[in-house]
Structure 1
Amino acid sequence: MGTRESSIDVAQFIDNLTHFHYREVLMTGATFVAIAAAIVLFPGVENVTQGIQSNVSGGLFALLIGVAILGGTVMGMLGFGFSLIVTPVLVSVIDPTLAVVVLAVPPLIINVFQMGDTGTGIEFVRKQWPLMILAIIGTVIGVVFLTEFSTGPLVPFLIGLIILGYVVFQIVENFVVIEEAHHPIALGAIGLVEGFLLAAANLGPVLPAYFHTFERDAEKYIGGLSMALGTIFATRIVLMTFFTDLMTPYRLWLGSVIAVVAIVGLLLGTYLRRIEIDEQKFTWFVIGLLFIISLNIFRNTIPALFL
Structure 2
Amino acid sequence: MSTREPTIDPQQFLTNLRAFHYREVMMSLATLAVLAGSILLFPGWGNVTKGVQSTVTTELLALFVVVAVVAGAIKGMLGFGYALITTPIFASVIDPTLAVVVLAIPPWMINMFQVGETKTGVSFIREEWILVALAIIGSVVGVYFLAQYNTGPIVPFLIGLIILAYVVFQVVQNFVTIEEAHHPIALSTAGFLEGFLLAASNLGPLLPAYFHTFERDTERYIGGLSMVLGIIFTVRLVQMALFTDLLTTYRIWLGSTIAVVTIVGLLLGTYLRRLEIDQRRFNWFVITLLFIISLNIFRNTIPALL
TM range (shorter): over 0.9
Asked if 1:239 corresponds to 2:239, the answer is yes
What SS does structure 1 have at the residue aligned with 2:177? Answer: coil
SS at match of 2:51: helix
Q: SS of the counterpart of 1:247?
A: coil
Q: How does 1:138-287 map to 2 (within 5 A)?
A: 138-287=138-287
Which residue number in structure 2 is paired with residue 125 of structure 1?
125
Moved over 3 A (4+): none
Using the alignment, how far apart are the partners of 1:181 and 1:124 within structure 2? 16
Does structure 1 retain, via aligned residues, the 8 Å contact 2:180–2:216? no
Alpha-carbon separation, structure 1, partners of 2:164 and 2:34: 33
Which residue type is aligned with residue 9 of structure 2?
D
Shift of 1:4: 1.0
* Contact persistence 2:75–2:266 (CA under 8 A): yes
* Corresponding residue for residue 290 of structure 1: 290
Unaligned runs of 5+ in 1: none
Please say if residues 27 and 113 of structure 2, whose CA atoms lie closer than 8 Å, have aligned partners that are also in contact.
Answer: yes
| Identity across the alignment (%) | 68
Does the aligned pair in 1 maintain the 2:74–2:266 contact within 8 Å?
yes
Rounded Cα–Cα distance in structure 1 between residues aligned with 2:218 and 2:290: 17
Preserved CA contact (<8 Å) 1:54 1:93? no
CA contact (8 A) 1:73 1:270 kept: yes
Query: Following the alignment from structure 2 to structure 1, what is the Cα–Cα distance between the partners of residues 70 and 87?
Result: 12
TM-score (norm 1): 0.98
Tell me the CA shift for residue 281 of structure 1: 1.1
Alignment of 1:95-134 (within 5 A): 95-134=95-134
Query: What is the rounded CA distance, in whole Å, between the counterparts of 2:86 and 2:65 in structure 1?
Result: 10
- C-alpha deviation, 1:286, in angstroms: 0.8
2:88 equivalent to 1:85: no
Pairwise CA distance, 1:177: 1.3
1:67 matched to which residue of 2? 67
Measured after TM superposition, the shift of residue 181 of structure 1 is: 2.1
State the SS of the aligned residue for 1:119.
Answer: coil
Alignment of 1:11-26 (within 5 A): 11-26=11-26
Residues in 2 aligned to 1:7 and 1:20: alpha-carbon distance in whole angstroms: 21
1:234-292: per-residue Cα shift (whole Å, max 9, x none)?
01000000000010010011000011011110000000111111111111111111000
Structure 1 distance, partners of 2:103, 2:177, is: 32
Between the aligned partners of 2:37 and 2:211, the Cα distance in structure 1 is: 32
Cα pair 1:3 1:219 within 8 Å, conserved: no
Aligned length: 306
Q: Which moved more, 1:48-57 or 1:196-205?
A: 48-57
Instruction: Output the CA distance in 2 between the equivalents of 1:108 and 1:151.
Output: 24
| Cα distance in structure 2, aligned partners of 1:238 and 1:226 | 18
Q: Name the amino acid aligned to 1:131.
A: L
Q: Over the residues paired in the alignment, what is the CA RMSD in angstroms?
A: 0.8
Deviations 1:193-229 (A, max 9, x none): 0000000000000000000001122211110110010
**Amino acid of the structure 2 residue aligned with 1:177:** T
The 8 Å contact of residues 181 and 215 in structure 2, kept in 1 or not, is answered as no
Q: Is the 8 A contact 1:97 1:151 kept in 2?
A: no
The equivalent of 1:58 in structure 2 is: 58
For the 8 Å contact 2:2–2:275, the answer to whether it is kept is no
Task: Output the CA distance in 1 between the equivalents of 2:2 and 2:215.
Answer: 13
Structure 2 CA distance for aligned equivalents of residues 143 and 101 of structure 1: 10
Q: Counterparts of 1:202 and 1:178 in 2: how far apart (Å)?
A: 28
CA contact (8 A) 2:84 2:203 kept: yes
Determine if contact 1:151/1:200 at 8 Å carries over to the other structure. no
Q: Which runs of 5+ in 2 are unaligned?
A: none
State the match for 2:35 in structure 1.
Answer: 35
TM-score by length of 2: 0.99
Cα distance in 1 between the residues matched to 2:53 and 2:299: 23
CA–CA distance in 2 between the matches of 1:105 and 1:54? Answer: 23
Distance, in Å, in 2 between the alignment partners of 1:151 and 1:232 is: 21
